[in-house]
Amino acid sequence: MNKSIVQFQNVSYRYDENSPLALKNVQFSVYEGEWLAIVGHNGSGKSTIAKLMNGLLFPEVGSVYINDINLSDDTVWDIRDMVGMVFQNPDNQFVGTTVQDDVAFGLENHGIPREEMVVRVQDALEKVNMGEFLDQEPHHLSGGQKQRVAIASVLALRPRIIILDEATSMLDPRGRNEVLETIRQLKQEDNITIISITHDLEEAARADRIMIMNQGEVFHTGNPTDIFALDEKLVELGLDIPFTHKLAKQLIKHGFGIDDSMLQEDKLVDYLWKLQQKI
Amino acid sequence: MEITTKNLAYTYQANTPFEHRAIYDINVSIASNSYTAIIGHTGSGKSTLLQHLNGLLQPTAGEIQIGDTIISSEKKQKKLREIRRRVGIVFQFPEHQLFEETVEKDICFGPMNFGVPMEEAKKKAKEVILQVGLSEDILEKSPFDLSGGQMRRVAIAGVLAMNPNVLVLDEPTAGLDPRGRTEIMTMFDKLRKEQGISIVLVTHSMEDASLYADHIIVMHKGTVYKQGTPHDIFSNPKELIDLGLDVPETVRFQLKLEEKIGKRIADPSLSLQDLVKNIQHFFERGNGL
C-alpha cells in the first residue's frame, strides 16, 4: 500500500450553528497515486469534503492532514500548493484572454520567473493535449477543451493532488471522455493523486476506489466491483446501478449463466459471443 | 400551440469581421402536446435555435411561426409579450435566477409582471408548487435555504406559473443526482400528459431522449442533420457515433454485441426490457440456451 497523502480524522463540519452537521465524524485516507471517486446524493457532503481538503473550510471537530501536514490557518498556503481544484462550470474558471495567459495566471501569482513560466505553461498544456491552442481565445473552445485548460492551470503549479468537483457534469459525452482520459494519463505518468467528486457511475467506475457518502457520513468504501455489488442499495442511496449490472441481472433472470466475473461490458459481450458460438 | 420554422437562420454579428453563422436552413415543427428532444454537440446551434422559440432572437433569414405569430427576418414583431408567456424557457441552472425573499414571491414575480393581480398569483403559486412535487409550506421559505434540487423545482414552478403552452428545457437535469434526475424527468412527462403542455428538451442524455420524446431533432454544425421518432434516429447508431454523438447505452451494447458476433440481433433496442427480450429471442431462435 502506498503512503496516505490525505487523511480525515473524525472530521465533523456544519455550515452554521443552527444547521445540522454537513459532515459527521468522517474518517478516511487517500493513498498517493490513486484515483478515488467520491459519490453520493445531492447534499451528502461530497463537496464539503473537497473544500476541507484545501482549506476553503476548516473542520469544526477532528483534523485533516495533507501529506502529513495538519490543516490550519498557519499551513493553509502550503496545503493549497499541494492541492489543485477543478470546478463544475468551465466558463467560471477562465481569467485570461488566451489559453496561455490563463495557465500563466496562477504561476504569476506564485511569483514564478518568466523563463520558467513559459516552460511550465507549455508543458502543462501539452500534458492535457492542448499544446496547439496557446493563443486561442477561451470562448472558441469546447467545454471539454476548457476543462482541460482548467486542469492545465492547476497542473502548472505542480500539485500532488488534483480534486475534480463535478468537473465533467456540464460536458457532452465527447468532452467528458477527453477530460477523463487526460486524468487517467496524469495519474499514470505523473503519479498525481486524483480525487473526483461525481454523480456519474461510469466515471466512478474508472477510479481505483469509490467512497459513497450518505447524509454526511461515509457509507462504504471499496473498489468499483465491491461498490457495484451493492446493487439496489445504491438506488436507495439516491444513486444508480451501472448499465452492465442492470442488464446482467435481467439476463440472469431469463436463465443466462452469468457470474460476477462478467460484470463489465467487454466481458459480458464475450460471454454472449462464446455462448452463440456453441450453437 | 404549434411552432414551425421555415429556412430559419441566425448569424451573430452579421456584416462585421466577427460574423458567425450559428444556424441555417432549419425546418422543424413542434406539434401541440408533443415531446421533442433536441440533441447535438456543444456548439451545434441548439441554444441559438432554442432562443428563437419564444422570440428572444429574431431570425436573420427565414421565419418562425409560433401559434398565430410569425417572426421573420424582414419584420420586427411587436407583440412578443404573449409569446413569451406561452412559451416558457427554463435555462440551464435556472436556480441561479432565483432572487426574491420567499419562494412565493419568486413564483409570483412572473405572473404579476404580466399583470396578474397578487391574490390570483398567490393562488397560482400554491397550485404550481404542488405540480413540481414540493409542499405548500415551502412557499414561506427563502429560496436560498433550499437544496439544489428544490431550488431547481422552484425555478421551474416560476415558469409554470405563467400558464405556458410550451415548456422549453435546456439540460434540466445537469448537476442533479440520479434520483433527482428521474424525479424531475417524470415530472415533465406528467405535465405533458396531465396539463397538455408541449415539452422541448435540449439534452446530452440519449437515454432521456429515447425514453421520453416522440420526436428527436439532431443538430450538427448549425443545421438539422436528421429528425424523426427515437426509432428512426437510433436505427443507424453508427452514423450518430461517427458524428461524435452518443447513442443510448442499450443501443451501444447491442451494436457491440452484433459486431462481435457478426450478425444482426434485432432492430436497435431503445429500452433495457427490449434489449433483454431481443437477446433472449436471438438465442431462442438459434436454440443456444
The answer, for A142 touching chain B at a CB cutoff of 8 Å, is yes
pLDDT for res B289: 46
Supply the ipTM of this predicted assembly.
0.78
B261: in domain: no
Q: To 5 degrees, how large is the angle CA A231–CA A237–CA A243? A: 40
Same domain, A122 and A231: yes
Residue B254 lies in a domain: no
The confidence score (pLDDT) of residue B63 equals 95
Q: Is residue A32 located within the same domain as residue A74? A: yes
Residues A269 and A142 in one domain: no
- Residue B184 is predicted with a pLDDT of 92
CA distance A68 to chain B (A): 33
Residue B201 is assigned to a structural domain of this protein = yes
Give how many domains chain B has, as a whole number. Answer: 1
pTM, two decimals, is 0.83
- Residues of chain A with C-beta less than 8 angstroms from the C-beta of B284: none
**Structural domain contains residue B271:** no
Question: Considering just the CA atoms, what is the radius of gyration of chain A in Å?
Answer: 21
Cβ contacts (< 8 Å) between B147 and chain A: which residues? 42-43
Work out the pLDDT band at B288, boundaries 50, 70, 90.
very low
Note whether A247 contacts B148, CB cutoff 8 Å. no
For residue A274, what are the domain limits?
Answer: 242-279
Domain limits for position B167: 3-247
Same domain, yes or no: A255 and A160: no
- Nearest chain A residue to B255 by CA distance is A269
Q: Are strands A61-66 and A69-70 parallel, antiparallel or unpaired?
A: antiparallel
Regarding whether A258 and A222 lie in a shared domain, the answer is no
pLDDT of res. B287:
52
**Helix (H) / strand (E) containing B103:** helix B103-113
Are A59 and A169 contained in the same domain? yes
The tens digit of pLDDT for each residue in B40-93 reads 887 789 989 999 999 999 999 999 999 999 999 987 777 888 899 999 999 888
Chain-chain contact of B283 with A276 (C-beta, under 8 angstroms): yes
CB A171 to CB B42 under 8 A?
A: yes
Regarding whether A165 and A251 lie in a shared domain, the answer is no
Distance CA(A8)–CA(A256), nearest Å, equals 44
Q: Domain for residue B47, yes or no?
A: yes
Asked if residue B289 belongs to a domain, the reply is no
Quick: pLDDT tens for A160-216: 999 999 888 877 777 888 889 888 988 998 899 999 999 888 889 899 999 999 999
Quote the pLDDT of residue A55. Answer: 93
Query: What is the domain-level CATH number for residue B190?
Result: 3.40.50.300
Give the nearest chain A residue to B171 (CA atoms): A170
Q: What is the pLDDT, as a whole number, of residue A1?
A: 60
Q: Under an 8 A CB cutoff, do B261 and A142 touch?
A: no
A144 and A207 within one domain: yes
pLDDT of residue B17: 86
> Does A205 contact B at CB distance below 8 Å?
no
Q: Which site among B144, B179, B255 would you substitute to test the A interface, given the most A Cβ atoms closer than 10 Å to its Cβ?
A: B179
Domain presence at residue B283? no
CB atoms within 10 A of CB A87: 17
Q: What is the CATH number of the domain that holds A69?
A: 3.40.50.300
- Same-domain pairing of A246 and A217: no
Residue B257 lies in a domain: no
Residue B46 grid cell:
441548439
Structural domain total, chain A: 2
| Closest residue to B177, CB basis, from A238, A251, A272 | A238
Considering only the beta carbons, identify the residue of B43, B177, B289 that sits closest to A142: B43
- Residue A261 sits in the same domain as residue A197: no
Q: Spell out, as residue ranges, where chain A has pLDDT lower than 50.
A: none
- Rounded to an integer, the average pLDDT of B144-152 is 85
Tell me: do A129 and A216 sit in the same domain: yes
CA-based nearest residue in chain B for residue A170: B174
Share of chain A above pLDDT 90, in %: 54
pLDDT, mean over chain B:
91
Which pLDDT does position A71 carry in this prediction?
Answer: 96
Flag whether pLDDT at B283 surpasses 90.
no
CB A252 within 8 A of CB A79: no
The answer on A32 and A127 residing in a single domain is yes
For residue A264, what is the nearest residue in chain B, using CA coordinates? B253
